[in-house]
Amino acid sequence: MEIGIDIIEIEKFDEKILSKKNFLNKVYTEKEIQYCNSKSNPAQHFAARFAAKEAAIKALSNYANNVPLTSLEILNDDQGKPFINIKNFKIEDIKLKISISHSKELAIAIVIAYKSKSECFM
C-alpha cells in the first residue's frame, strides 16, 4: 500500500491559466474540464483535481512510472464522491481510494493505492 498527498494554492489557477487550452488539454480530460467549468468557481475544482492527480502519481510511484496526467481522470459518482478512472494506461491489479477537499485558498487531495483488500486497512 502506498499513500500520496498534494496541496496547492487555488490562486495558481487564475483566469489567465484556465484560458490556456494547451494547459487544460495536457492536464485534464474533456469530462474534467466540463465538470470544473460547470461550477461557480472553476479554479477550486481545477486545483482540487490537479492536487488529486499529483497525489495519485505519488501513490502509484512504486506500481507504475510516467503515468500521464490525462490518464488519471478524477470524476464523481452519483453521490458526489470522487473516484479515479485510469484511462489509456495499464496498471495491473491496483485499486485507488481518493479524498479531495478545498477551502477558499487551498485544495488538497490524498490517494491510497493498493493491490488487494488484504493490503488495504479499509
Quote the pLDDT of residue 113: 94
Share of the chain above pLDDT 70, in %: 94
Quote the pLDDT of residue 115: 85
How far apart are alpha carbons 74 and 84 in whole angstroms? 5
Long-range (24+ apart) CB contacts under 8 A made by 27-34 are 27/53, 27/69, 27/70, 28/69, 28/70, 29/70, 29/73, 29/87, 31/73, 31/75, 32/73, 32/74, 32/75
Residue spans per domain, the chain:
2-119
Quote the pLDDT of residue 93: 82
pLDDT band at 17 (very low <50, low <70, confident <90, very high): confident
Quote the pLDDT of residue 119: 60
- Predicted confidence (pLDDT) at residue 55 exceeds the cutoff of 70: yes
CATH match for 2-119 among 3.40.50.410, 3.30.465.10, 3.40.50.300, 3.90.470.20:
3.90.470.20
Mean confidence (pLDDT) of the chain: 91
Tens of pLDDT along 62-116? 888 889 999 999 999 999 999 999 988 887 788 999 999 999 999 999 999 998 6
